Amino acid sequence: MGLYLVESSIKNIASSKEEVQQKTKALQEKLSEREASLVELQVSKDFSRSFFIVEAKEQGVVTEILRAFGLPIQLVKEVRLVGKALDEVKNSHEVINYLVEWNIPENITMEQYLERKKKNSVHYQEVPEVSFSRTYVCEDMTKCLCFYDAPDEEAVKRARQAVQTPIDSITEIL
């Protein structure tokens, strides 16, 4: 089974947290019929951006089901989870309120990325008001998504500075 990041927008199918929860339940049922599962869905506060992490045997199943739900697919990438075990993420009710995207430079390999992350992660303790949760790294090494619980965007920026990692965009999560 692989993990897939699908970037989309649910703006046309949900406009409240309750609607997102209802749609998520229906989506999970459809995915289950195809031996796939929704690991998590993070939605921007304005509903314009959605980040689905789906576990499935193949990418085609994921895109087929999401398109059947009327979701415009902007990006699909196979990803690797870093920082937590998959079962822990699936069973977690952890608060995530910021998502940081970083477009990884071309010359960095997965091994280099993981070593750098391991070395620099200790510096998160310098910004105790921010809690780093997990990262999804695209297997093709084009980008990664990092999830945080933080009091505000400035705190996230301080945490990223502490671990010496750039930010291409920050999205506040619903």
* Fold of the domain spanning 2-172: Alpha-Beta Plaits (3.30.70)
Is a pLDDT exceeding 90 seen at residue 92? no
Average pLDDT for the chain: 93
Helical (H) or strand (E) element with 81: strand 73-82
What is the reported pLDDT for 140? 95
Tokens of 65: 């089901």
DSSP 173: B
Nearest-CA neighbor of 48 among 11, 86, 5, 96?
Answer: 11
Nearest-CA neighbor of 41 among 70, 9, 84?
Answer: 9
Tokens of 16: 């409240």
Q: Model confidence at 93, in pLDDT bands (50, 70, 90)?
A: confident
Model pLDDT for residues 30-50, shown as the tens digit of each residue: 999 999 999 999 999 999 999
CA dist., res. 53 & res. 7, Å (int): 9
Residue 72's φ and ψ, nearest 5 degrees, are -75, 130
What is the reported pLDDT for 38? 94
CB atoms within 10 A of CB 173: 17
Place of tokens 């822990």: 88
Is a pLDDT exceeding 90 seen at residue 69? no
